[in-house]
Structure 1
Amino acid sequence: RTTNFDFQQRVQLGVEAQIGERINISTNFNTEATFDFENRMKLEYRGTEDEILQLIEAGNVSLPLPGTLISGTQGLFGFKTQLRFGNTTMTNVFSQQRTESRTIDVQGGAQTTRFEIRADEYEERRHYFLAQYFRDRYDEALAHLPIISSNINITRIEVWVTNVGPATTNNRNIVALADLGEARPHNRNLITSNISRPTNQTNNLFASLEKSPARTMAEATAYLQTRPERFISAVDFETTENARLLNSNEFTFNPRLGFISLNQTIGADHVLAVAFQYTIVGDETVYQVGEFSTDINAPNTLLVKMLKSTETDPKLPIWDLMMKNVYSLNAFQVNPQDFRLNILFESEELGVSVGFFNEGVVAGQPIIRLMNLDRLNTRNDPIPDGVFDFIDNAATQGGTIQSSTGRIFFPVIEPFGSHLRKVLQDEALGDRFAFDSLYTTTRHRAQQFPERNRFVLQGTFKSAAGAEIPLNAINVPQGSVVVTAGGIPLVENVDYTVDYMLGRVRIINEGILSSGVPLRISLESANLFNLQTRTLMGTHINHRISENFNIGATFMRLSERPLTQKVNFGNEPISNSIWGLNTTYSTQSEGLTRLLNRLPFFNGTAPSEITINAEFANLIPGHSRRIGTAGTSYIDDFEGSKSAIDLKNVQTWFTASTPQHQTMPGRFPEGAPGTGLAFRYNAARLAWYIIDPLFTRMSSITPPHIRNDVNQRSNHFVREVLQTELWPTMQTPTGIPSPIPILNLAFYPSERGPYNYDTRSSPFSRGVGRDGLLLDPSTRWGGIMRGLQVTDFEAANVEYIEFWMMDPFVYNANHTGGDLFFNLGSISEDVLRDGRKSFENGLPVTAEPINVDNTIWGIVPTVQAVVNAFDNNPPSRQFQDIGLDGLSHEQEQQFFRTQFLDVIASLHGTGSMAYQMALSDPSSDAYHYYRGSNLDAEGVDVLSRYKRFNNPDGNSPTSEQSPEPYPTAATNLPNNEDINRDGTLNEAERYFQYRVSL
């Protein structure tokens, strides 16, 4: 144990102080402030009226300027001086700029925003049809907007998704079925009825599963895969444990068109399923697809309609249920007034974007009209007027836009694909212009055809009009907001007010709002994170000729220091200078008043005022010397173009399940359905680890026999590998090459792996010899698996697996070799294949077997996993930390006595090494830390110390349970078959396999 002082320093300080008559100090400091700009400090010295030195400020300062061409700034941190020479004043600053200047254009009280959306930027994994029936009739139903041609009304719906995180109260086990309610099922073995609409009776799928083992979560997958229809996981069905029922505020649905819109994008490897009821106009019958949570009691599974599976395969019919005709404007509460949308085509012949085709029967017709987005005029008469038909509530009633969420809904399902071909009426033109791959492949693959991606949605919209205008900034510096109306400056607190803390401008002059004059708001917003240094130097000289006549001159220089020596194109650090002159003259004129009085209906009594403002400014652009004299920026230096997924973390790897559905003869025969314990007969021991430096560097804790064994420490499988061995020319900051963390894989094909109960030769394996070693080791395998946060490889542009491998046969050049396989995709998490999720923290906390079931592999919990942690009571650890089989060492000897230990005894005798090894650890899952006094006493070598380091039985002992004076736990988390932590046991096997011959 290590003792450290924890001061927990917290300071919140606000000070206003005065020293004498001339020095003032003000500060506001808080150690728990979120951002730097919240802490402010200023030291001020003020001279007398007759002194040359009028003002010195240090800390948070500002430089207000009278002109508009050279604007002042408020958010500075540095030094400021003000000198006075008679009627001439000079203001100087040397500071860091901590704000950014920007402008906001507002018209009629609403901000105008331009948008440009390409055809491939549809909203992915957000909008889904409830069945193929609704997709097939979507175009027809919206052909005569604003009238919706549909006689269906969905009255009730439940939406289920894969639960991520702790279980909630709205969780159920579900079996999601792709062909449920489909009149044209994907599985040809299903029998259809004469019902064309989606119901549970449209085909025989629901009736065949209603009273079947599919009602039990543990049996559902195996039952469905062995039925005569041979259902395929992730294609025909998904079994999802603890699926979450969405609340009504997490989605919307269109009751007449039959689609749902999720508030959040669903994960690429998550399941989406529904159950719904609907009625038909003129028919009192209530039709239903799937089962509602109130229809079947838990823990029985619910049979529901699958809209999305864990796999993304455009060849499957379920791919068509995802809508690809919805585009987001990234705005809310879109105002229909002055909304403009046009669809442009990037013409190769004309070299510009145009809103029409110049060939075929549709030549000259606006593309927006061809897409059925312009069929009406402003009075909803069926007369196109060249303007987008703003028909609201598309997501809930049917239309072209959902203004509340800022989404465009095309009234056709494939606007740039099949629909475009249909309106062109020319196969050759369709081949030239249609973007079919946008709908037949994934979006990211379609983006690989830029010559097809030539359609753009372009336009403008306004946010909701009002007197209050958000600045999209917080903690705006005082006095930095300037508002002009038609170029005329407005007066703060007369025409408008500013909430500098919340970042809002409120127009209080109603005449300005009603006039519709364009407003421009200039402001400075504080940088939340000061990553780049900006230095501002400036001088302003003002000479007062008279009380009404001023002449000024200004010089300012703003320079930026780049974060790195290599800067990207468009982010070049500036070093700009600007200088200018300004003058102001104002006077009163009685003559002008008399002249104006000659006008009819005008009678002025007060003297008129004439004001003349004149400015001149010259900007001298430049760049920082740090990027060279000529200024060098990089379009792409390709050093940062590669983003890697590091796979070396030992803690993220777990014992692999047996690969299934192998196509090569003789490979993994035990992976076939229904093989029982034989599922792991060929699993040999595979250890994975990073060798602790204590074994390779001389220290007080290095075991003496290893410290004295230079050959062992120099062994290629033990020694450290330096960076310079792989990259000889690599330079390190310290000049000393660093060791590389090496993920070691040690395969022992003759030793039993975890949960291998192989005994005698069988169609699946060759059995165990008298010495306890696996026979015919060339037929054995060892594997590890892990979850990946990045599951959509196309979207992430994952292109290859890169790894360096030390020659595994460096000490045996005549070895026959082996094969290394990489499987990427959906991998079954069911290590002990029984359809039940094994997790240690679900086991009883005492010796009493409660809330558990027996399987062929041992004991599994019947409770739901709520949190991924052991029981808080330390004595309970011995009952939970016992591996995936749920059996302690003594329980393993009893549980596997008949089918394993007695068979070994009958083959080789109880005195054989085979029997003694099996008796000492029947499940071959006992854990041992790579350090230990017993290992030191026996003189165990480094590699052998890691053989049992990955075993799950006892790998999380508490500090009290540790047999050594130091911690010996491999992890503090319970072992769990739920590798990717999505709350369900994934059993699907659909992956790409790569073979590396060694």
Structure 2
Amino acid sequence: MPAVRTYDPRVSPFDEAGATGLTRLYGGLGQRWRPSSLQRKVAVDSTGQYITIREELFEQPIRAPYKAPIQLYYAERLRNNEFKLWQSALAKSLSPGAEARTGRGGLDVDIPVPIKSRAFAQIFGGSSVGLNVQGDIQIDGGFRKENRTEQRTAFNYGSNTNFKMTQKQRFTVTGRIGEKVTVNVDQDSERAFDFENNIKLNYTGFEDDILKKVEAGNIALSLPGTRYVTFGGGNAGLFGLKSEMQLGNLFVTAIASQEKGESKKLSASGGAQAKDYNVRDLNYMRDTYFFLHREYRENFRYYSEKWRHLAVPTGRQIRRLEVYVTGRLDDPKNIPGDAYREALLDAEGNVLVLDERERVSGSFRKLVPEQDYRYEPTLGYIRLTQRAQEGEALAVAYETNDGEIHGDINFVTGRPFRLKLLRERTTLPAPRDLDDTWHLEWKNVYDLGSRNIPEEGLDIRVYFQPGSAGTPEETLILPGGGQISYLNIFGLDETNVNGERRPDNQIDLDGFVVNRGAGELTFPFLRPFDARDSVFVFDQASQSFQVFKNPLPLDKQVTAMYDTASYSEQQRLTKFIIEVKSQNKTSTYQLGFNVIEGSEEVSLRGNRLVRDTDYVIDYFSGTLTVTNPEANKPDAQLEITYQNNQLFQLEKKSILGSRAEFRINKDSFIGGTLLYLSERSLEQRVRLSGGEDRGPMKNLVWDFNTRLQFQPNFLSRALDALPIIATQQASTLNLEGEIAQIIPNPNALNNKETGDPNGVAYVDDFE
């Protein structure tokens, strides 16, 4: 489900509702009135590539939705954040005391009379209490009572009494209790996700107190002294209780919490970001590429001896083309008409052939060439810039060089508007016949996960893996004992790096097979995973076309995505994985939405970088830009560890543990760590095949480590005693060691009926 956030429709979708002008200087002037029923919703689609903005009044749409690329959202969000920072800095520089004069607003809870309790003063470090509460709480209640005298329900109830109550709350609480406790609470029941709410209670002890610090609510845990028991940059996505104590030179940290975030890691070498991307055989680029006619589809199977597509005869090439999609009926720019499986017309628009087996009636909107689509006139296909949406029909009108007209490309107002249909509004569960428009859509192009991919570091492999179990296989064992890679089977590896007709187990970086600019992989076969498919390659010696059949064995073929539109059926029968490894030269890295603030750790050659000095980060959009020029050098090794808030946390993770460290001096310590991780799953049956649902588990890890540093003067004296050698600094001796053990229990789900306490798994629904 996409992330949704609500905005005031009278302001930019990238900004928060607030005052007009400089808010810090004019806190009460020109304040916008914001009725709760007037909302703007910004949603990210399932592909993560586009956002859709909708405006609603009383939960009813009042304007047409607006769709924009996610990169535009990033750019506008960054621009707006920079403006807000400039606005805040300008307000402070013009009137440093403005904020203090205007006051904080809200409800101030301040007890003027000191609390005369020695226990209270000792615990909280004082007798004063000061809290600032801002926000609103709305409670709606209703009462309904019904008396029935002439009728009875099935349960013989003659009367009914109901009481209904709903509550909405939005408030912040800030302040101090004594000198030791600070309070910071930000709650809003209307927020889309729970992680947007924050509760932070901090207790800071005095210098001579044993209890140094206690944190409750949203907390973070970092164990910098350990190497094997670590959370990377520190686990900031925790909710619970953490305490720090000191008794002499003994420092103790204890924690009890639930994990709300998800840890991730990203690596880059020499300014090139390494990226692994997997795509299943069923996930081709849907609703993007289309043949204009079945004759162009058939011609697409013919290749030259160098495996280049052969153009159609000159007379059959496209002279003029117009592309249409169904649009809104009330748009005056759209043209009412009908689209047919075949609509062959003459120059005056008279019908020569009209195939009504697939007919779509509606209001058609004309697309803009190069902006909405591009086409190849010699091969007879189009590529949409944005894939056709569900419920949207696609149709064309074109003329070939020999004067054949399909669709009303010479349309004149006043006569019927007829087009040639390429895609119906709704795809049927299965194609009806070979002439169905279903077959005009390309099903052999796959997205590589990024654009403008450099050739260096690009590696593409095809693996056979039925279902989610088993080990992926890169090669096929032949009956005679030989092997052949699936790259070669699918026609993706025909030549070596020198251009010779000799496979080298590396994908051919052909301009058509691999389009690195668009980030697309095109198989030579129109149905690449169908063993019955074939192409025709011209043989120079015989001056004829030779049939090149797909060598894939029948028992390994998968044809569901070619013969049915049922996605669940395609998922059930999937067998192949396309693995893409690439490296992109960049200084900007996308970490994903909702990065937990302060959870990131950026290191260059093992040295930690400083935020706002060596890099900048936008936590909402997850955009991190490295500004340190050393990161772009060829030998640079960059590592980024961070955490994202989980939109939907299906597993409940709990962390309990403690670390004790005895510090001998500032450079030496002896420490130990004990951590317990418990994870519960909603799935009550643990599958043996694993997958994303790992099932319940309970892990215990212990660690003992030490670092000792000495200054043995006898080493310096021994070196000074040698001829010609004279030491300039004191000698140091460093000793460092660590030992750790994890005691796992990967399946904590037991069944008393089996008598086995070591966990129970299910194979095909049987224990």
Same fold, TM exceeding 0.5?
yes
Q: Which amino acid aligns with 1:76?
A: L
Is the counterpart of residue 467 in structure 1 residue 587 in structure 2? yes
Instruction: Give 1:100 deviation, angstroms.
Output: 1.9
SS at match of 1:136: helix
SS at match of 1:461: strand
Measure, in 2, the Cα distance between the counterparts of 1:552 and 1:460.
43
Q: Which residue of 1 aligns with 2:431?
A: 313
Q: Which residue of 2 aligns with 1:631?
A: 759
Q: Which residue of 2 aligns with 1:61?
A: 219
Measure, in 2, the Cα distance between the counterparts of 1:322 and 1:428.
20
Structure 1 or 2: more helix by fraction? 1
SS at match of 2:296: helix
SS at match of 2:630: helix
Q: Which amino acid aligns with 2:229?
A: I
Structure 1 or 2: more strand by fraction? 2
Give matches, 1:631-780, under 5 Å: 631-634=759-762
Measure, in 1, the Cα distance between the counterparts of 2:417 and 2:727.
85
**Residue of 378, 397, 408 corresponding to 1:275:** 397
The verdict on how the C-alpha distance between 1:384 and 1:303 changes in structure 2, with shifts beyond 3 A counting, is: same
Q: Which residue of 2 aligns with 1:619?
A: 742
The one-character-per-residue Cα deviations of 1:541-562 (angstroms, maximum 9, x if unpaired) are 1101122211111111122344
Instruction: Give 1:320 deviation, angstroms.
Output: 3.5
SS at match of 2:663: strand
Contact 1:138/1:412 (CA < 8 Å) preserved in 2?
no
Identity, % of aligned positions:
25
Q: Which amino acid aligns with 1:631?
A: G
Contact 1:420/1:434 (CA < 8 Å) preserved in 2?
no
**Residue of 55, 61, 83 corresponding to 2:245:** 83
Give matches, 1:29-428, under 5 Å: 29-66=187-224, 67-72=226-231, 73-117=235-279, 119-140=281-302, 144=306, 149=311, 154=318, 156-163=320-327, 167-180=330-343, 205-207=344-346, 210-211=349-350, 233-234=356-357, 237-248=358-369, 249-263=371-385, 266=388, 271-277=393-399, 279=401, 288-292=405-409, 295-297=411-413, 300-309=415-424, 312-313=430-431, 315-318=433-436, 319-343=438-462, 353-355=473-475, 358=478, 368-369=487-488, 371-375=490-494, 378=497, 385-392=504-511, 399-415=512-528, 416-417=530-531, 420=534
SS at match of 1:336: coil
Contact 1:421/1:430 (CA < 8 Å) preserved in 2?
no
Contact 1:56/1:79 (CA < 8 Å) preserved in 2?
yes
Measure, in 2, the Cα distance between the counterparts of 1:470 and 1:93.
31
Measure, in 2, the Cα distance between the counterparts of 1:404 and 1:136.
27
The verdict on how the C-alpha distance between 1:47 and 1:386 changes in structure 2, with shifts beyond 3 A counting, is: closer
Measure, in 2, the Cα distance between the counterparts of 1:444 and 1:81.
54
Give matches, 1:887-902, under 5 Å: none
The verdict on how the C-alpha distance between 1:433 and 1:19 changes in structure 2, with shifts beyond 3 A counting, is: closer
The verdict on how the C-alpha distance between 1:430 and 1:502 changes in structure 2, with shifts beyond 3 A counting, is: closer
Contact 1:238/1:271 (CA < 8 Å) preserved in 2?
no
Instruction: Give 1:116 deviation, angstroms.
Output: 4.6
**Residue of 659, 667, 675 corresponding to 1:548:** 667
Contact 1:414/1:439 (CA < 8 Å) preserved in 2?
no
Instruction: Give 1:531 deviation, angstroms.
Output: 4.8
Measure, in 2, the Cα distance between the counterparts of 1:525 and 1:439.
34
SS at match of 1:335: coil
Contact 1:477/1:526 (CA < 8 Å) preserved in 2?
no
Measure, in 2, the Cα distance between the counterparts of 1:386 and 1:7.
67
Q: Which residue of 2 aligns with 1:707?
A: none
Q: Which amino acid aligns with 1:291?
A: D
Q: Which amino acid aligns with 1:140?
A: Y
The verdict on how the C-alpha distance between 1:448 and 1:255 changes in structure 2, with shifts beyond 3 A counting, is: closer
Contact 1:91/1:539 (CA < 8 Å) preserved in 2?
yes
Give structure 1 stretches of 5+ with no counterpart: 181-204, 215-228, 280-284, 393-398, 598-602, 639-998
Measure, in 1, the Cα distance between the counterparts of 2:456 and 2:553.
38
Q: Which residue of 2 aligns with 1:824?
A: none
Q: Tell me the number of residue pairs that the alignment of Structure 1 and Structure 2 aligns.
A: 569
Contact 1:332/1:463 (CA < 8 Å) preserved in 2?
no
The verdict on how the C-alpha distance between 1:375 and 1:540 changes in structure 2, with shifts beyond 3 A counting, is: same
Measure, in 2, the Cα distance between the counterparts of 1:314 and 1:434.
25
Q: Which residue of 2 aligns with 1:894?
A: none
Instruction: Give 1:238 deviation, angstroms.
Output: 1.1
Give matches, 1:945-960, under 5 Å: none
Larger Rg: 1
The verdict on how the C-alpha distance between 1:314 and 1:385 changes in structure 2, with shifts beyond 3 A counting, is: farther
The verdict on how the C-alpha distance between 1:439 and 1:625 changes in structure 2, with shifts beyond 3 A counting, is: closer
The one-character-per-residue Cα deviations of 1:40-59 (angstroms, maximum 9, x if unpaired) are 22222222222222222222
Instruction: Give 1:261 deviation, angstroms.
Output: 2.7
Measure, in 1, the Cα distance between the counterparts of 2:322 and 2:732.
72
Measure, in 1, the Cα distance between the counterparts of 2:486 and 2:195.
50
Q: Which residue of 1 aligns with 2:18?
A: none
SS at match of 1:511: helix
The verdict on how the C-alpha distance between 1:596 and 1:207 changes in structure 2, with shifts beyond 3 A counting, is: farther
Contact 1:126/1:266 (CA < 8 Å) preserved in 2?
yes
The verdict on how the C-alpha distance between 1:333 and 1:501 changes in structure 2, with shifts beyond 3 A counting, is: same
Contact 2:312/2:379 (CA < 8 Å) preserved in 1?
yes
The verdict on how the C-alpha distance between 1:470 and 1:88 changes in structure 2, with shifts beyond 3 A counting, is: same
Contact 2:496/2:503 (CA < 8 Å) preserved in 1?
yes
Q: CA RMSD in A?
A: 4.8
SS at match of 2:345: helix
SS at match of 1:515: coil
The verdict on how the C-alpha distance between 1:256 and 1:381 changes in structure 2, with shifts beyond 3 A counting, is: farther
Measure, in 2, the Cα distance between the counterparts of 1:314 and 1:100.
46
The one-character-per-residue Cα deviations of 1:251-293 (angstroms, maximum 9, x if unpaired) are 44333322123355557876432112455xxxxx77643223x
Contact 1:566/1:627 (CA < 8 Å) preserved in 2?
no
Measure, in 2, the Cα distance between the counterparts of 1:470 and 1:495.
17
Measure, in 1, the Cα distance between the counterparts of 2:487 and 2:655.
50
Q: Which amino acid aligns with 2:513?
A: T
Give the TM-score normalised by structure 1: 0.49
Q: Which amino acid aligns with 1:159?
A: V
Measure, in 2, the Cα distance between the counterparts of 1:596 and 1:242.
93
Give structure 2 stretches of 5+ with no counterpart: 1-139, 144-163, 538-545, 721-725, 752-756
Is the counterpart of residue 572 in structure 1 residue 702 in structure 2? no
Q: Which residue of 1 aligns with 2:55?
A: none
Measure, in 2, the Cα distance between the counterparts of 1:327 and 1:496.
34
Q: Which amino acid aligns with 1:91?
A: T
Contact 2:212/2:245 (CA < 8 Å) preserved in 1?
yes
The verdict on how the C-alpha distance between 1:591 and 1:371 changes in structure 2, with shifts beyond 3 A counting, is: farther
